[in-house]
Amino acid sequence: MNENIEDMVRTTTRGSLMILTGQISSTIVLAIGMLFVAKLLGPSNYGSFNKAQSVVQIAFLVMNLGISSAMTKFLALYRYENKPGTLKILVETGLILNLIVSILLTAIVYSISGYVANNVFNEPEQQQYIRYLSISIVGQAIMTYSFGVTVGFERMDLRSIQSFAYSVLKSILSPILVFIGYGTLGAIIGHTSPILISGLLGLVFIWLIYKPLSTEEPDISHYEAARMILSYGFPLYLTVLLSGSLPHLYTTLLGMWVPNESIGNYSVTRNFGVLLSFVTIPIGTSIFPLFSKLEENHEELGFLYKNAVKYSTLFGYPISFTIMALSDQIIHVLFQDQYIYAAHFLRVYMLTFIYIGFGMVCNSPLLNSQKRTDLTFRATLVRFAIAIPTSLVLIHRMGVIGLLITLIIGRGVNTLFNLFSVRRIFGFGIDTMFLAKNLVISVTSFGVVYFAFKILILNPWVEIIAGGFLSVIIYLGGFVVLQAFSKQDYVNLRRLSDSFGPLKPLVRRLVDILVRLS
């Protein structure tokens, strides 16, 4: 790595760790708060709360127009090119576009609330709930926009603070309002208020970033900036619409053909995807501005892309394959015998993350960073075209397993299409030798851990702890035996350890041990 690239990678690594820290803390806090709300409301009122939310969720889906991703892309690029005047124009234009769209959608949702409540849900009380929730559309738009701005300026600390503040506010307000007697309305106010407050906090962060920018003459006008943002973001907007509609289709088909018990078991397994998101979201978010700085620099892009795929695989595979091996024990500890199919579903569901090794986390950020949002849209379109007939056939015949197979096929088609596009356009791809070695290590680890605890019957907690430890040992041993990392990989990792904060000594010690053993 040359010095310039090394500095950028260190910034990206620090950003990933900040997002990871914020995401873990936010997820834990939010999960605790929502657990209390669900218990206090009971199934009927909690269902009413989620029913009202479904209307606003559709508005959330259609309102962004790809503006947030466009801001991240162009802010990162023009920061790298040192054009502060253009940065100011972009920030102003993006905010204006977001406010116009979100205010319009708020007015639409507010005006149709009565019709939806009385004619769709047949529950007149839903009108009040939907109207309160419609106010959150503006707050959500500003939140999403501020995420794009802070990531574009690589201020991951501000993004994490905003996410954590939202989680804390929601986890405090919602349970308190429900507990003191406001019921479903209390949950809705407790949901809306944190979004509005976090949106205001996002505006403060945007101002802190915007104010120091110099007032030099910009290269573009507001009109030109709007055209640039929308032309870049529109394919991403269509991508979100298509991919966002698939879960609704799957839910409908499950409701038609699958018993509620199986649906409940499947819903439990989906929650474990959060553990993989601790790897995929920080890496996917932080590499986007990094790639955006390097337009047309294919040599450096190739180096960064291969390493991003390599490190996402390095952390993603052990988590997914260990969960697969210990799914029986994990489900038993959490739910005893309440969800009898969940362990089997969980093993199959974890297979959807095997595509991390094929660039699932990194392909779209790379293509989008180079203004090839049309290709990510095409990949989603192909996935959509395959997923619809596949889900209709497989869910009808095989139930939840049919849905899981559909997810595996759809995610695979999307990932491989994008990987083919990366190789065709840029002339580079993933490190196939590293992927092959990692798969061998991961499958071996799964087999040893899974069958070890089929033979040794211990306390489930003991099996989880021992199985996790055994998985780590096998993984590290496999890395040494198969030499999955080259010596240069270890050198790069050791140099980047400066970005790991308090984990730096541990990372360096581990790298030194692996180097001596290799």
The Cα–Cα gap between 492 and 410 comes to 35
Look at residue 162 in the predicted model and tell me its pLDDT: 87
Tell whether the torsion through CA atoms of 368, 373, 376 and 380 is positive or negative.
Answer: positive
164 located within any domain:
yes
Residues 412-421: pLDDT tens digits?
999 999 999 9
The Cα–Cα gap between 82 and 488 comes to 32
Distances (CA, A) of 12 to 17, 161, 279: 9, 17, 14
Token readout for 67 is 């503006």
- Torsion from C-alpha of 53, 70, 156, 375, nearest 10 degrees: 90
pLDDT surpasses 60 at 175: yes
CB atoms within 10 A of CB 154: 23
What would the DSSP string read from start to end of 311-334?
HHHHHHHHHHHHHHHTHHHHHHHH
Question: Does residue 124 sit in the same domain as residue 261?
Answer: no
Total length of the chain: 518
Look at residue 351 in the predicted model and tell me its pLDDT: 94
Question: Does residue 287 sit in the same domain as residue 215?
Answer: no
| Residue 90, φ and ψ in degrees, nearest 5 | -65, -45
Q: Name the DSSP class of 217.
A: P
Mean pLDDT of 17-34: 73
Q: What distance, in Å, lies between the first and last C-alpha atoms of the chain?
A: 22
Task: Pick the more confident residue, 24 or 398.
Answer: 398
Q: Identify the helix (H) or strand (E) that includes residue 306.
A: helix 298-325
8-12, 281-285, 512-516: segment of lowest average pLDDT: 8-12
The Cα–Cα gap between 173 and 293 comes to 41
242-256, 395-409, 457-471: segment of lowest average pLDDT: 242-256
Mean pLDDT of 330-344: 84
Residues 92-116: pLDDT tens digits?
999 999 999 999 999 998 888 888 8
156-187 CB burial, b ≥16 within 10 A, e <16: bbbbbbbbbbbbbbbbebbbebbeeeebbbbb
Task: Pick the more confident residue, 417 or 9.
Answer: 417
Question: Does residue 166 sit in the same domain as residue 205?
Answer: yes
pLDDT surpasses 70 at 425: yes
23-32, 180-189, 240-249, 361-370: segment of lowest average pLDDT: 23-32
Mean pLDDT of 200-220: 86
Look at residue 65 in the predicted model and tell me its pLDDT: 82
89-103, 332-346, 388-402: segment of lowest average pLDDT: 332-346
pLDDT surpasses 60 at 500: no
227-236, 293-302, 357-366: segment of lowest average pLDDT: 293-302
pLDDT classification of 174: cutoffs 50, 70, 90: confident
Q: Exposed, middle or buried, 432 (CB in 10 Å: 0-12/13-18/19+)?
A: exposed
Question: Does residue 247 sit in the same domain as residue 195?
Answer: no
226 located within any domain:
no
pLDDT surpasses 80 at 247: yes
Question: Does residue 382 sit in the same domain as residue 415?
Answer: yes
pLDDT surpasses 90 at 353: yes
The Cα–Cα gap between 53 and 46 comes to 11
CB atoms within 10 A of CB 362: 31
Strands (E), 207-332: none
Question: Does residue 242 sit in the same domain as residue 323?
Answer: yes
pLDDT surpasses 80 at 408: yes
Task: Pick the more confident residue, 379 or 26.
Answer: 379
pLDDT surpasses 80 at 349: yes
71 located within any domain:
yes
Token readout for 380 is 């989603």
Where a domain ends, among 187, 220, 253?
A: 220
376-413 CB burial, b ≥16 within 10 A, e <16: bbbbbbebbebbbebbeebbeeebbbbbbbbbbbbbbb
Look at residue 273 in the predicted model and tell me its pLDDT: 81
pLDDT surpasses 70 at 451: yes
515 located within any domain:
no
Strands (E), 262-325: none
Token readout for 510 is 């581990």
pLDDT surpasses 90 at 4: no
Look at residue 363 in the predicted model and tell me its pLDDT: 92
Look at residue 130 in the predicted model and tell me its pLDDT: 86
pLDDT surpasses 60 at 511: yes
CA angle, residues 203, 26, 175, in degrees to nearest 5:
95
Question: Does residue 39 sit in the same domain as residue 175?
Answer: yes
Look at residue 384 in the predicted model and tell me its pLDDT: 93
Q: Is 509 helix (H, G, I), strand (E, B) or coil?
A: helix
Question: Does residue 316 sit in the same domain as residue 457?
Answer: yes
Question: Does residue 171 sit in the same domain as residue 250?
Answer: no
Mean pLDDT of 245-269: 80
Mean pLDDT of 146-168: 86
Across the chain, mean pLDDT equals 84
Look at residue 409 in the predicted model and tell me its pLDDT: 96
Residues 314-326: pLDDT tens digits?
889 999 999 999 9
CA 73 distance to own-chain centroid: 17
The amino acid occupying position 10 is R
Look at residue 444 in the predicted model and tell me its pLDDT: 95
Look at residue 43 in the predicted model and tell me its pLDDT: 61
- Answer whether 410's CB lies under 8 Å from 353's CB: no
Token readout for 157 is 């600390």
| 3-class secondary structure per residue, 34-82 | HHHHHHHHHHHHHHHHHHHHHHHHHHHHHHCCCHHHHHHHHHHHHHHCC
Task: Pick the more confident residue, 41 or 303.
Answer: 303
Look at residue 466 in the predicted model and tell me its pLDDT: 94
281-285, 295-299, 354-358: segment of lowest average pLDDT: 295-299
Question: Does residue 208 sit in the same domain as residue 248?
Answer: no
Counting the structural domains of the chain, the total is 2
Domain that holds residue 397: 235-484
240 located within any domain:
yes
Where a domain ends, among 168, 194, 220?
A: 220
501 located within any domain:
no
| Beta-carbon contacts of residue 442 (< 8 Å; ≥ 6 apart) | 317, 318, 320, 321, 475
518 located within any domain:
no
CB atoms within 10 A of CB 114: 15
pLDDT classification of 436: cutoffs 50, 70, 90: very high
- Answer whether 289's CB lies under 8 Å from 364's CB: no
The amino acid occupying position 111 is S
Question: Does residue 257 sit in the same domain as residue 171?
Answer: no
500 located within any domain:
no
Tell which residue, 120, 285, 142, 125, has the closest CA to residue 205: 142
pLDDT surpasses 70 at 506: no
Mean pLDDT of 22-44: 72
Question: Does residue 299 sit in the same domain as residue 276?
Answer: yes
pLDDT surpasses 90 at 269: no
Look at residue 207 in the predicted model and tell me its pLDDT: 93
Token readout for 159 is 């993004």
